[in-house]
Structure 1
Amino acid sequence: MDCFQQTIHFNCGGENGLCQLKLVNFEAEENHTSHETLGLSKKHLVVRRGKPFSVTLLFYNNWWNGYTENLVLEVSLGNMSEKMPVQFCDKPSDPHCWSAKVYPRDMHTQSVTINICSPVLSSVGVYCLWVHIQTAQNRRTYALGDFVLLCNPWHKDDPVYIPLDAHIEEYIKSDYGLVYMGTPLNISGKPWSFGQYEPGVLEACLKLLQVSPEHLSDKQNDYIQRANPVYLSRVICAMVNSNDDLGILEGKWHGNYKGGIKPTDWSGSADILHRWVSSNCKPVRYGQCWVYASVLCTVMRVLGIPSRVVTVFNAAHDGDGSVKIEEIYSSTGEKLNLSKDSIWNFHVWVECWMRRPDLGPGFDGWQVVDPTPQEKSAGKFCCGPCPVVAIQQRCLHVPYDSSFVYASVDADIIRLIVHDGLVVQRVVDTESVGQLIYTKGIGSDRPNNLTQTYKSKTSQTGSCLWTEEKQAVSASKALLTSTPFALQSSPLTHRAEKMLPGLEVSLHTEKIPSVGDNIIMCVTVTNCSNTDRILMEHVNAQLKEYNCSPQESFWRTKKEVHIQQGKVLTLHHTISPSEYESYLGADDIVNVAVVIEDLRTKERFLAAQEFSISSPPISIEIEGGDSIQMKEEHTVHVSFINTFSTALNGAMLTVEGFGLLQDKQNVRLDFLQPGDKIEKKVSIMATSPGTKLLKATFSHSNSPSIVSRSFHKVSVITK
């Protein structure tokens, strides 16, 4: 670690008698260790507010006289400045005001070590530091340099204070995380390198604040407000997306990704932040929800605000504020893209830990902050901070954006079956939205289930008028609809709602398939009535993006079946790889639905399920284990075995790793026979400590859409 020493030359200029400063030592290693900022920067001294740090001044041969020559330190942030007369005492510093103290043991004839303490509610930013040496007749001023001041989650008076050491390790210091993706039936954890110890990342986070609209329009107010983590989280949340500012990421959810990087190819924040800075704040292409959230988590951890990435499975996007999501199916089981609302199979946001003095202590703790640009909040694309406890207690009036967040995790789904322009069946699902809410476990790669922190049905007494609010919201939206069918319901719909159904229908897959496996579905029909039934079964399968309605059907079947009264009928269906491989790739999501129609009564019954296709595995092995020494070469073996029943043409295996490899490493084979292996040996070397990720990608020309990806965590240690 550099010592950040600065040599200062001077001209006496007639100021005889004043001691002259020779050298400034920012005691970087000691301060960084004490302030838990080691590795964040090699360019700046980085310290935390409310905790003293030391600076040593070395003078020339004319001794400094502490009794006749006063030292006054001055700090400034923008146009704000504070002067601190250096005091000589043994009393500890007051963490609520700026102070500069010299303890007797630190005072010498030619040097002095000054302990500087900032207020615990200081603004985050880059501060300038001066020293004034003065007597009654003369004064000499030296610019000592800059230092970075961050939030202090170790200090009990800081609003971001989090008391448990394990939480500090996981939510501030850890530079590695897992982003959960997929569906509740098939959850995968994508490793992510937050990269806060990579060179230049801290500086990129500080630049983000300097180019925000809030700073550019009113620098003074922005500097003042930066003491407040609520303000910081809103500014940074808006700046992670580029929709209305000089933000980091441009989003793209459909079509090709020419001119940028496909969102699934990112594996760390540092590369994204470096690209943004090097392009002079042009948006990096492209991001989706987990990329936005992971970059936000990096910036918040760098600034000292405890943060974690959270995935909501079956997250609702409630565009009209009705807290209801409509899904519309045809009478043959095809899901129709007719609703403005949507259910995302997963959606990723961030929780940040902070007190909320603007709301009261009942709303302290984890706050949802969502940088994915979905809806505007107070005129800009951001969401939160919204207290998680407000969602749990259903307090829809609490700022910020609590009703939108509540709908994301607890909206009702209204499933409609339409036929000839009429709604012929209506089913209400109150359980699927927010079915699971996951984050990475503390000190573990296992998921931590947060569902009940959002969805507990036990509401505490207080000011949350949930019943009245929900009734008011429902009444205000009663005449609004996102479909053309609301006022054209068939009489069969009302009859079905008033009587017990004569049939029970369910649908499930026998196992979650990998690419190359058969998709096997099982439909179960139970005849609860006292009459035999003649039924028409329609089964439909569609490719679905995780964040929108399905595309056209790629597979369908129908047949007439008979079921006796009181009996259970099980129907199996298989979709072979040849029937889906030209449509589906690894990690793609499939929507399957069955509609059972009673041919006599014309009643219809719907069951649906969504699941993702798993990727074939890629093996990544590091000689000597997954912990490597910094600045030493290590060998990695990467391989893929063709588990398909046919030969693969144009097989290519690619290996890359930010902070481990300078360039991508490729190997190609014209043909890869069934059971054969393609492999690549690469040498890696890390130049900085922390957690890095190796990524391996396998593709082939038989079906270009089918791509396998694997990630491997590498721990870099120093000697």
Structure 2
Amino acid sequence: MDCMQQTRHNIPGTDNDRCRLKYVNLERHENHVSHDTLGLSGQHLVVRRGKPFKLTLLFRSRAWNPHSEDLVLEVWIGGLSERIPVHFFREMPDSLSWTAQIYPGDMHRQSVIVHLCSPALSSVALYDLLVHIETAWDKRSYAVGSFVLLCNPWLKDDAVYMPLDVQIQEYVKSDFGLVYMGTHLNICKRPWSFGQYEPGVLEACLKLLQVSPQHLRDKQRDYVRRADPVYLSRVVCAMVNCNDDLGLVEGRWEGSYRGGVRPTEWSGSADILHRWLSSNCCPVRYGQCWVFASVLCTVMRVLGIPSRVVTVFNAAHDTNGNLKIEEIYSTRGEKVGLSKDSIWNFHVWVECWMRRPDLGPGFDGWQVVDPTPQEKSAGIFCCGPCPVVAIQRGCLGVPYDTSFVYASVDADVVRLIVRGGLVVGRRVDTQWVGQLIYTKSIGSDRPENLTRAYKRKGHATAAVNAQHRMCKTQSLRGVSPNLEVSLQIERVPLAGENICVCVTVTNRASRRRVLVEHLNAQLKQYCSSPQESFWKTHRELHIQPGEVLTLHHAIPPSEYESVLAGEDIVNVAVVIKDVRTKERVLATEEFNIISPQITIELQGGDSVQMRKEYTVQVSFTNTLTKALSGVVLTVEGSGLLEGKHQTRMLLLQPGHSIEKKVSIMAASPGTKLLMASLSHSSSPSAVTRSFHRVSVLTA
């Protein structure tokens, strides 16, 4: 059917001597193009607040007579309604009220075109639309359909107004993003399909608002407050996790993922939103921080609020709010998980762009909104919106959750060496937390470094500086002013290469020293404490006054290949002990190994036409020093492939390859992701994954 037929609403009438409405054309295609909402829904008219949209009213027996009959539109959300008299064009319509106008030339023999416009700060919702034809003695009412009203970042009067169109293209309209992961020494990027143009995604986002505790508790109050993006962001943030409500995603960071999907296997938001909606709001299993953040980014972009996914490398989780994170090590350099505080190698949250009239113009702009359920905010598991500028300035009393977010990027790390329950060494690191903060650059796949936006020097308040001084009494180099120790990974190794560690010891004392070096390596996940050591060494050292010793160590692949999984991180720590004085100095580093890559090659490049078949070649070469047994290569891609396509090999020798060829065909436009994964029975948890972006063009 053509656009006119799709948007036509037939309306029954009775008497032939009066003006009767035959149908209303909601002009979906034209309005969607005009409002930059094309592709967001195949079910509903979707428009943006503060901008007129067009309706064509066709009358049945005779034309509408504006001299004897009033034409009134009425919009409803829940139990709230507003009548909007239709007027002929005025130059200065009231931007604070709904308006319905007929422009010159829009009156025809049997029809009239009405331009309906909401206030710039209207509530985001699905509205019902009624048309009334009224005379002094008669009133005829017609329910003519519904429309979805979204925020309008193009409009200056909207609280989410964004001045540059390239920003809106990236932070509202783009359905593709990158999530940065790994460690600050080896940053990996994972593509993510936000999928806001996938069928049913907008409807799932609207459902999310309808089942929120705020809406279920007081529908009318919730509808009124939905005009405010600050309120919307808090509601959506809490609803992305399922801890307090009928939310989207259930988190899991350890143990079995049976009964759900491993967090690392998700590549887009649409599948998660579809599963939640089709299961009658049962939480989707399972997510971790980048899944929560990416889904939140999708929902906010759908609602028209500019949003981007941001990664903090070495993000602190400060449970007691003292801006200090304690890490405990044994005298042999083993990291022990005894502290309630923690540091994640990376943590992913969202920044949303909005004005903050509740705080004043100095706090407008990017706001941190973090849906990962770590701590409660006002009794629920959400975080933000917290102004980035408040974090940079150290204004810890600014709502919402600024103190917690500030600690995430700027807390100090106090590393303790403990023996027999006593602290025998202490080191304070003021640089480790929030070492890098990244997001995807506008219009490119390069990272944009946001670190200075959060951590510009010299802007913290006196209260923050006072708290920091309490724990900055020790040198960054260690507890002994005369013995300095540093540890460095010489280069980030590829899987199958030696891990090369360099320890530098400087004796600034005027006497010769006898030292003992303990060097230890442990595996850890990005969000948890290390496991048991997989490699360790120790030796005695002699160092002269003023001498600098450079100690090189190599951990061969045979020591880590059997235990290192694809997502694991290595914690390496050295403790240097002075035999005579018993002084101990600690140095540490954490890094992730570069995993073997899966190659994905698409016939004809990375752009495809809808409904045309293309061939994809997927291959993996074993770069490890050992053979892999029970190898499975899997290829999948939502919107490109039905189900999973696999090939298997009993034994993959070092230097040998496994390949899989598949055919893809896209049914809808937008950005899609092909995902390939390789698993093997030699180490069941060591799954290697690669992604490939595919741009689907209309014919």
* TM beyond 0.5: yes
Contact 2:328 2:338 in 1 (8 A): yes
Contact 1:50 1:96 in 2 (8 A): no
Residues 12-91 of structure 1: pairs in structure 2 closer than 5 A: 12=14, 15-89=15-89, 91=91
| Match among 480, 500, 510 for residue 520 of structure 1 | 500
**Cα displacement (A) at 1:643:** 2.0
1:642 Cα shift?
1.9
2:105 match: secondary structure: helix
| 2:574 maps to amino acid | V
Partner of 1:352: 352
What CA distance in whole angstroms lies between the structure 2 residues aligned with 1:494 and 1:451?
Answer: 25
Match of 2:619 in 1: 639
Matched residue SS, 2:100: strand
Whole-angstrom CA distance in 2 between matches of 1:293 and 1:501:
43
Counterparts in 2 of 1:294-693, with a 5 A limit?
A: 294-459=294-459, 466-468=461-463, 471=466, 501-693=481-673
CA distance in 1, matches of 2:269, 2:299: 9
- Where does 1:113-192 land on structure 2 (aligned, <5 Å)? 113-192=113-192
| Separation in 1, partners of 2:477, 2:448 | 38
Contact 1:697 1:710 in 2 (8 A): yes
Percent identity reads 68
Question: What secondary structure sits across from 2:531 in the alignment?
Answer: strand
Maintained 8 Å contact 2:323/2:467: no
Secondary structure of the equivalent of 2:153? coil
Q: In the alignment, which residue of structure 1 is the partner of 2:251?
A: 251
SS at match of 1:205: helix
RMSD (CA atoms):
1.9
User: Aligned residue for 1:10?
Assistant: 12
Give runs of aligned pairs for residues 223-234 of structure 1, distance below 5 A.
223-234=223-234
The offset of 1:171, in angstroms, is: 0.4
Q: AA paired with 2:168? A: I
3-state DSSP of counterpart to 1:36: coil
Q: How many Å apart are 1:469 and its aligned residue?
A: 5.8
Cα offset for 1:705? 2.2
Residue type of the partner of 1:468? Answer: A
Which has the larger displacement, 26-35 or 515-524? 515-524
For residue 222 of structure 1, what is the amino acid of its counterpart?
Answer: D
**Contact 2:9–2:24 (Cα < 8 Å) also in 1:** yes
SS state at 2:291 partner? helix
In the other structure, the counterpart of 2:99 is 99
Give 1:79 shift.
1.0
Structure 1 residues 495 and 201, CA, compared in 2 at 3 Å: closer, same or farther?
closer
Aligned residue in 2 for 1:485: none
1:213-232 to 2 correspondences below 5 Å: 213-232=213-232
Distance in 1 separating the partners of 2:330 and 2:654: 41
Larger deviation, residues 539-548 vs 371-380:
539-548
- Residue 322 of structure 1 contacts residue 474 of structure 1 at CA under 8 Å; is this kept in 2? no
Q: Alignment partner of 1:17: what SS?
A: coil
- The 1:200/1:142 distance shift into structure 2, 3 A limit, reads same
Residues 1:577 and 1:405: Cα distance change in structure 2 (over 3 Å): same
Which amino acid counterpart does residue 701 of structure 1 have in structure 2?
Answer: S
1:629-650 CA distance string (max 9 Å, x none): 1122111111111222333222
- Taking the aligned partners of 1:5 and 1:526, their CA distance within structure 2 comes to 78
Deviations 1:367-400 (A, max 9, x none): 0000000000000000000000000000000000
| Contact 1:315-1:433 at 8 Å conserved across structures | yes
Give TM-score, length-normalised by structure 1.
0.94
Aligned equivalents of 2:26 and 2:541: distance in 1? 82
8 Å Cα contact 1:425-1:496 kept in structure 2: no
Q: 1:646 to 1:498 in 2, by over 3 A?
A: closer
Query: 3-state SS of the aligned residue for 2:406?
Result: helix
Matched position secondary structure for 1:551: coil
The alpha-carbon deviation at position 247 of structure 1 amounts to: 0.3
Tell me: CA distance 1:652–1:504, structure 2 relative to 1, closer, same or farther (3 Å). Answer: same
Q: Which amino acid in 1 is paired with 2:7?
A: Q
- The AA in structure 2 aligned to 1:309 is V
Flag structure 1 segments of 5+ consecutive residues without an equivalent. Answer: 479-492
For residues 408 and 554 of structure 2, what CA distance do their matches in structure 1 show? 34
SS of the residue 1:316 aligns to: strand
Quote the offset at 1:610 in angstroms.
0.1
Instruction: Using the TM superposition, give the Cα deviation of residue 587 of structure 1 relative to its aligned residue in structure 2, in angstroms.
Output: 2.8
The 8 Å contact of residues 430 and 476 in structure 2, kept in 1 or not, is answered as no
Give the corresponding residue for 1:709: 689
Q: 1:393-418, CA deviations, whole angstroms, 9 ceiling, x for partnerless residues?
A: 00000000000000000001111111
CA shift, 1:2, in A, is: 4.8
SS in 2 for 1:6: coil
Counterpart-to-counterpart distance in 2, 1:640 and 1:205: 38
Structure 1 counterpart SS, 2:204: helix
Q: Is the 8 A contact 2:51 2:118 kept in 1?
A: yes
Instruction: Kindly state the Cα deviation for residue 521 of structure 1 after the two structures are TM-superposed.
Output: 1.1
- The code of the aligned residue for 1:121 comes to L
Q: For this pair of structures, how many residues does the alignment match?
A: 696
The separation in 2 between residues aligned to 1:56 and 1:196, in whole angstroms, is 28
| Contact in 1 for aligned 2:297/2:308 (Cα 8 Å) | yes
CA shift digits 1:14-53 (9 cap, x unpaired)? x452222222111111100110101100000000000000
Residue 194 of structure 2 is matched in structure 1 by 194
Could you tell me the TM-score, scaled by structure 2's length? 0.97
Question: Are the structure 2 counterparts of residues 170 and 498 from structure 1 closer, same or farther at C-alpha, using a change threshold of 3 Å?
Answer: closer
Query: Residue 532 of structure 2 aligns to a residue in which SS?
Result: strand
Work out whether residues 427 and 479 of structure 2, in 8 Å CA contact, stay in contact via their aligned partners in 1: no
1-side partners of 2:42 and 2:479: how far apart?
72
Distance of 1:697 and 1:499 partners within structure 2? 46
CA distance in 2, matches of 1:230, 1:495: 42
Name the SS for the 2:222 alignment partner. helix
User: What do the CA deviations read for 1:543-576 (whole angstroms, capped 9, x no partner)?
Assistant: 1111122112121111112122222212222222
C-alpha separation in 2, matches of 1:470 and 1:527:
32
Per-residue CA deviations over 1:411-449 (Å, capped at 9, x if unaligned) read: 011111112221111111111110000000110100000
How many angstroms apart in 1 are the aligned matches of 2:177 and 2:320?
Answer: 34
SS of the equivalent of 1:207 reads helix
| Counterpart-to-counterpart distance in 1, 2:521 and 2:275 | 40
Structure 2 Cα separation of the partners of residues 525 and 498 of structure 1: 11
State the Cα distance separating 1:502 from its structure 2 match: 2.0
Structure 2 unaligned runs (5+)?
none
Assess if the C-alpha contact under 8 Å between 1:386 and 1:400 holds in 2: yes
Shift, 1:93, TM fit: 4.1
CA shift in 2, pair 1:408/1:499, >3 Å: closer
Kindly provide the amino acid, as one letter, of the partner of residue 677 in structure 2: T
The CA deviation at 1:62 is 2.5
Deviation at 1:515, TM superposition (A): 2.3
User: Which digits, 9 at most, give the CA deviation of each residue in 1:123-161, with x for residues without a partner?
Assistant: 000000010112222221111100000000000010100
Q: Quickly say closer, same or farther: Cα 1:510–1:216, change in 2 above 3 A.
A: same
**C-alpha distance in structure 2 between counterparts of 1:455 and 1:694, whole Å:** 37
